[in-house]
Chain A
């Protein structure tokens, strides 16, 4: 059985990236990952070995969601709930523009995606995780992962096409 550090440290960058994309706050992301690692240490005796990445990222995601929930009805939850109610998951263009000024344009568009689309896409594009592992981290069936990825990508492709023309 390998030690906690050997299992967790190789995936710490991925953990911070996921937390950052969920919270959209680089400072909060580090706090989330630190809290998540404290939790992971408690769960570690029940870790069955194998790939620690999905295991750790699942804990990081739950910790980040807990933090968002504690913020109450913040701008984050309001925006995502509002986005979920409409058929087209395209983000609010104004919010996207504001984000886009501080970050790169594509980065801003990604940050403006609804949370459940955003997390699937970053796990796939930046961590190159399999559909099965993304399903494990996000707690939804593989089919849902696939449709969320598709919606996330089409949303960004449309925005890119709109920006180019």
Chain B
């Protein structure tokens, strides 16, 4: 029960607790523990701490959004290759569009909620944009290799909707493009992916406005005035 012997046992005790002790050292430790109440107490303390850490500290993990973004990183790599082959790419687009059309009628209602929720989440500090630029020549190429389609990116500063930037988001079970525009104090998020969209509804206090253009579905969401949202839609459609 000497102090020196006990301090030599500390790391053995811990290694045993962590399942890292070899057979010879296990035997040595067991012999020491038989005659040392202090070390037996330390052994119990280690077990108690591990147990409390696992029961008292809340478990946490990745958000669904992060998981989707990382999943998209993986699939985006082959897209870089196919984008150089327009014929294949078109076929992929048509396939993607048909999948979306099959899936949407049942989930449209949930989709609008998801759009509003995604917008609210994006308004949290640091989450609005992955690529910060008002230049569509910067934002558009950023999506290359991150998505299996090429989202149309338009600058609307001239008509009062400056582009803030873009990010990858996840809606309707797939990665989508999200562009952020500013209108005065309001942020308008525009979600884009292949397919068709239409409608205008309030969700969680935000207006969600949908339209289709060039084989893409576009959903704008904001707390801006309904008139301004409609103006945004018209400006977007008129901008070449």
Q: A interface vs B, CB < 8 Å?
A: 3-6, 8-9, 12-13, 15-17, 20, 26-28, 30-31, 33-34, 37-38, 41, 104-107, 110, 124-126, 130-131, 146-147, 149-150, 153, 156-157, 160
Interchain CB contact under 8 A, B58 and A107: yes
Interchain CB contact under 8 A, B66 and A16: yes
Kindly provide the distance from the CB of A17 to the nearest chain B CB, expressed in whole angstroms. Answer: 6
Bitwise, B39-73 to A at CB < 8 A (1) or not (0) is 00000011011101110111011110111011101
CB neighbours (8 Å) of B49 from chain A are 153, 156-157, 160
Kindly provide the distance from the CB of B19 to the nearest chain A CB, expressed in whole angstroms. Answer: 9
Interchain CB contact under 8 A, B11 and A126: no
CB neighbours (8 Å) of B56 from chain A are 104-107
Kindly provide the distance from the CB of A90 to the nearest chain B CB, expressed in whole angstroms. Answer: 15
**Known A-B contacts A30-B66, A149-B14; A37 and B53 likewise in contact (beta carbons under 8 Å):** no
A-B residue pairs, 6 tightest by C-beta:
A5-B74, A13-B61, A4-B74, A12-B62, A16-B62, A106-B56
**Known A-B contacts A125-B50, A130-B20, A160-B52; A3 and B58 likewise in contact (beta carbons under 8 Å):** no
Contact of A9 among B70, B77, B126 (CB under 8 A): B70
Interchain CB contact under 8 A, B66 and A12: yes
Tell me whether B135 is interfacial, beta carbon within 8 Å. Answer: no
Interchain CB contact under 8 A, A131 and B18: yes
Within 8 A of A (CB), among B145-186: none
Within 8 A of A (CB), among B182-229: none
**Known A-B contacts A3-B74, A17-B60, A27-B126; A12 and B54 likewise in contact (beta carbons under 8 Å):** no
- Main SS at interface, chain B: helix
Contacts A4-B74, A12-B61, A157-B46 aside, 17 further interface pairs with beta carbons under 8 A come to: A5-B73, A8-B74, A12-B62, A15-B62, A27-B125, A30-B63, A30-B66, A104-B57, A106-B56, A107-B57, A110-B53, A125-B53, A125-B54, A131-B15, A146-B15, A147-B11, A153-B49
Interchain CB contact under 8 A, B14 and A30: no
How far apart sit A15 and B62, CA to CA, in the bound complex (Å)? 8
How far apart sit A20 and B61, CA to CA, in the bound complex (Å)? 9
Contact of B11 among A6, A41, A105, A146 (CB under 8 A): A146
CB neighbours (8 Å) of A104 from chain B are 56-58
Interchain CB contact under 8 A, A37 and B57: no
Please, could you name 22 A-B residue pairs with CB atoms under 8 Å apart, sorted by A?
A3-B74, A4-B73, A4-B74, A4-B77, A5-B73, A9-B67, A9-B70, A9-B71, A9-B74, A12-B61, A16-B62, A17-B61, A27-B126, A30-B66, A41-B77, A106-B56, A106-B57, A126-B54, A131-B15, A131-B20, A156-B49, A160-B49
Kindly provide the distance from the CB of A12 to the nearest chain B CB, expressed in whole angstroms. Answer: 4
CB neighbours (8 Å) of B74 from chain A are 3-6, 8-9, 41
CB neighbours (8 Å) of A146 from chain B are 11, 14-15
CB neighbours (8 Å) of B18 from chain A are 124, 131, 149
Interchain CB contact under 8 A, A38 and B73: yes
CB neighbours (8 Å) of A3 from chain B are 74
CB neighbours (8 Å) of B48 from chain A are 157
Interchain CB contact under 8 A, B70 and A34: yes
Interchain CB contact under 8 A, B73 and A26: no
Within 8 A of A (CB), among B98-128: 124-127
Interchain CB contact under 8 A, B14 and A37: no
How far apart sit A15 and B67, CA to CA, in the bound complex (Å)? 11
